[in-house]
A and B are shown apart, each in its own frame.
Chain A
Amino acid sequence: MRKERKRVNYTLLFMALSGFIFLIIFNYIPMFGIVIGFKDMDYVLNIKKALKASDFVGFENFIAFLKDKEFKNIMINTLGLNLLQLVITFPIPIIFAILLNELKLPKFKGAVQTITYFPYFISWVVFGGIILGMLSPEGGVINQILLSLGVIEDPLLFNSNPQYFWWIIIFSSVIKGLGWGAIIYIAAIAGIDQSLYDAAKVDGANRFHKNIYITLPCIAGTIVVMLLLSISGLLSSNFDQIYIFQNPLNLTRSEVLDTYIYKIGISQRRYSFTTAIGIFKSIISMLMLSSGHFVSKKFFGRGLF
């Protein structure tokens, strides 16, 4: 018997197509907009007209960015801050999840989870505003603590001195993302087969051994995926966070690619120049993600998919 040819299910097609059309409009058409990066359209008044009329200039905008006097500083800030942030903030939720798992009182454990998730849902504007206040030389609690401990003699100008900027970003990220970042590891730990621990106990393993030899290897897959995703984001900053802490006095350490694109592209209307920077960023991120994927597949046998 020959199988009857299936009828096309038009309802399903319509449902999927409506999402498809959305992506075409808001994701794929802007991708074609990358031609702006290869044209000379800076400072034009009518972008739509200029899109047709202006000339192609090849890679001029990219070269202009590489030669830009801000380039070196921005790349140092973007990569330096993100790398430092990765090294410090990546392991913390993992350690937190393991410690939480070791906590004996179930009710207290639940309370810790609920409370540590909370800062994640507060906007960076609010959280940043509070941290700025706490760091302030007038009425700020941090300076007061340092003063009374005798660590410093005069209040530190955290918000205007560029040298503190990276540390403020990292520290505020840790507090805000600690609980939420741990959820995925908590879920992974909860999924570990209990009999593994029982077997280890029979073999005489203590709690430290159990975590090193069972918990960590069992959640290694999750860790690798999260690490790869973070590596691909090394050129992207959390705009909301940087923007709220940034001010004209700390620009030397606080200007990153994303804030620069916003400032030059939207405020100063250098459309081609910033589109070129955006392409530069996207391509490097794609390269980092794919090379990270292949390296980890080769050496650890697991990648993103």
Chain B
Amino acid sequence: MIDNLAVKKGINMRIQKELRSWNVFDYINFIFMLLILVLCLYPFVFVLVGAFNEGNDYMRGGVYLFPRKWSLDNFTMVFNDKRLLIGFKNTVGRTVIGTITGTLFTSFVAYGMSRKDLPCRNLFYWFSIFTMFFGGGLVPFYLVLKSFNLINSFWVYIIPQLYSVFNMIIFVNFYKEIPEEIHEAGLIDGAKEFQIYRKLYLPLSIPVITTIAMWIGVGHWNSFFDSMVFTSDANLQTLQLFLVKLIKEAAMAQGEAATKVPSQVLKTVSITTIRYAAIVISTLPVILVYPFIQKHLAKGVIVGSIKG
């Protein structure tokens, strides 16, 4: 008890001491940061509250911080939509398979690119970097996918995402930091080049692998363009594309309702909260893993920026 009080007093004194050193600017800065936190967090509160509120009641307005009329109907509606299940299946599938294959393949190529005894190393570099600044455009890319039979196939989500020059450069920068003695020690022990990569470099580069894997994974989870353009099969639709359709349809109905067809307002009433429920469900996995991955995500930018 006494200890507890003493600790509390200590903390209080520390805070007081800290605050005494603040000037006007520090207070303004602190309040400004609080405002930014509200701006970044509130949209998610808004959507969460809407998802748990009854549809008709919500449309009367005024539900901004807590649900007024609690209801799980929105979630029931979304879970009964077959498209959500298909979307989840495809998105989880592409995220898991795409992240593993993409990360491993990029690190594999990067190892080759990072070694000084790679023949024509400069040529390989310029050849890679050029692709970061020039491309053929959407239609020729579509044709290439088509000639590999990737259109309307699940693999269109995986294969074109296997490799990225940007991530390769980040891997190379990391491999270069690994002391050359480790490579030499591997050679002396009789390891072949591939074994050195697999047994020594790969385990040593776990931090950068985690970062890149997170980036690739987030990219897979969030992407809808490839699903929209390269597939037309309803069974290949991703979660984000399902959301796009749900949101765009509702957005259009709303726009029309506001200008032309007032009678349609009734129809859109529940769409809004159903939409919010779908948004909450599809964002929940990201929110759940975010606390664990956020440190790794930021690290990669810093690793990558060292070269600049």
Residue of A nearest to B53 (CB): A139
* Bound Cα distance A119, B39 (Å): 10
Partner of A34, one of B127, B137, B244: B137
Interface centre among B26, B41, B248 (most CB of A within 10 A): B248
From residue B285, how far is it (CB to closest CB) to chain A in Å? 11
Q: How far is the CB of B210 from chain A (nearest CB, A)?
A: 15
Contact B140 A48 (CB under 8 A): no
Q: Which residues of A contact B117 (CB under 8 A)?
A: 6, 9, 12
Contacts of B37 in A (CB 8 A): 111-112, 115-116
Contact B163 A19 (CB under 8 A): yes
Q: In the complex, are the beta carbons of B259 and A118 less than 8 A apart?
A: no
Distance of A232 from chain B, by nearest CB (Å): 7
CB-CB nearest in chain B for A47: B143
Which A75-104 residues have a C-beta within 8 angstroms of B? Answer: 96, 99-100, 102-104
**Cα A113 to Cα B294 with chains together (Å):** 10
Check: A261 CB closer than 8 A to any chain B CB: yes
The distance from the CB of B71 to the nearest CB of chain A, in whole angstroms, is 15
A154 to chain B, nearest CB (A): 11
Given contacts A32-B140, A130-B279, A178-B36, contact A9 B115 (CB under 8 A): yes
Which listed residue, B109, B146, B248, touches A15 by the CB 8 Å rule? B109
Tell me the A220-249 residues at the B interface (CB within 8 Å). Answer: 221-222, 225, 232, 239-240, 243-244, 247-249
| A33 and B44 contact, CB distance less than 8 A | no
Contacts of B39 in A (CB 8 A): 175
Interface residues of B in 82-117 (CB under 8 A from A): 105-106, 108-113, 115, 117
User: Cβ of B11 < 8 Å from any Cβ of A?
Assistant: no
Cα separation A237 to B181 with both chains bound (whole Å): 46
| CB 8 Å contact bits of B47-76 with A (1 = contact, 0 = none) | 100100000001111111000000000000
Query: In the complex, what's the smallest C-beta–C-beta distance from A165 to chain B, in angstroms?
Result: 12
- B254 A136 Cβ-Cβ under 8 A: yes
Question: Is A278 a contact of B124 with CB atoms below 8 Å?
Answer: no
Question: Does B64 contact A103, Cβ atoms closer than 8 Å?
Answer: no
- Which residues of the other chain, B, contact A104 by a CB distance below 8 angstroms? 18, 21-22, 26, 30
A19: B residues at CB distance < 8 A = 106, 109-110, 112-113, 124, 128, 163, 168
Residues of chain A within 8 A of B255, CB atoms compared: 157, 159-160, 247-249
A115 & B259 in contact (Cβ 8 Å cutoff): no
The A-contacting residues of B in range 257-282, CB under 8 angstroms, are 258-259, 265, 272, 275-276, 279, 282
Q: Say which size band chain B's interface belongs to.
A: 35 or more
Q: With an 8 A cutoff between CB atoms, is B136 at the interface?
A: yes
Are B258 and A123 within 8 A (Cβ)? no
Q: Are B272 and A9 in contact (CB under 8 A)?
A: no
A244 to B275 Cα, complex, angstroms: 14
**Which residues from chain B contact A29 at a C-beta distance below 8 Å?**
136, 140, 144
A171 to B, closest residue via Cβ = B39
Interface presence of B297 (CB below 8 A):
yes
**How many inter-chain contacts with C-beta < 8 Å in the A-B complex?**
292
Bound Cα distance A13, B25 (Å): 58
Interface string of B4-31 (1 = CB under 8 A from A): 0000000000000010011001100110
Q: Separation in Å of the A4 CB from the closest CB of chain B?
A: 13
Partner pick for B139 among A48, A188, A274, CB 8 A cutoff = A274
A11 to B198, CA, bound (A): 12
**B254 to A159, Cβ gap below 8 A?**
yes
What is the bound-complex CA distance between A126 and B287, given in angstroms?
A: 13
Closest Cβ of chain B to A134, distance in Å, is 6
Main secondary structure, interface of A, reads: helix
Whose C-beta in chain A lies nearest to the C-beta of B197? A15
- When C-beta atoms are compared, the residue in chain B nearest to A124 turns out to be B222
* Chain A interfacial residues counted at CB < 8 A: 102
Given contacts A30-B141, A137-B258, A239-B225, contact A48 B147 (CB under 8 A): yes
**Nearest-Cβ distance from residue A193 to partner chain B, whole angstroms:** 16
A275 / chain B contacts, CB cutoff of 8 Å: 136-137, 139-140
B202 contacts across to A, CB distance below 8 A: none
Q: Determine the distance from Cα of A25 to Cα of B140 in the docked complex, in whole angstroms.
A: 11
Contact A289 B133 (CB under 8 A): yes
Interface centre among B25, B33, B63, B142 (most CB of A within 10 A): B33
Question: Contact at B247–A232, with CB atoms within 8 Å?
Answer: no
Nearest-neighbor residue (CB-CB) of A131 within chain B: B43
Contact of B29 with A261 in the complex, beta carbons under 8 Å? no
CA distance A262 to B218 in the complex (A): 24
Residues in B whose Cβ lies below 8 Å from that of A123: 221-224, 240, 243
- Among the 9-residue stretches A63-71, A179-187, A197-205, the one with 4 or more Cβ atoms under 8 Å from chain B is A179-187
CA separation between A234 and B33, bound complex, in Å?
Answer: 30
- From residue A163, how far is it (CB to closest CB) to chain B in Å? 14
With known contacts A19-B163, A115-B40, A240–B224 Cβ distance under 8 A: yes
Closest to A279 in B: B137
Contact A100:B33 (CB < 8 A) given known A19-B109, A188-B305, A225-B308 = yes
**Are A282 and B243 neighbours in the complex by a CB distance under 8 Å?**
no
Given contacts A19-B113, A26-B144, 16 further A-B contacts (CB under 8 A): A16-B113, A18-B105, A31-B134, A33-B137, A33-B140, A121-B290, A123-B240, A125-B247, A129-B279, A130-B47, A132-B251, A138-B59, A247-B255, A265-B139, A266-B229, A278-B136
List 29 interface pairs A-B (beta carbons < 8 Å), by A numbering.
Answer: A9-B193, A11-B194, A12-B118, A13-B119, A15-B109, A15-B111, A15-B113, A16-B124, A19-B168, A20-B124, A22-B162, A25-B144, A30-B136, A36-B140, A48-B146, A114-B294, A115-B40, A117-B294, A130-B43, A130-B46, A132-B247, A133-B275, A134-B43, A184-B305, A221-B308, A244-B247, A249-B255, A261-B137, A289-B133
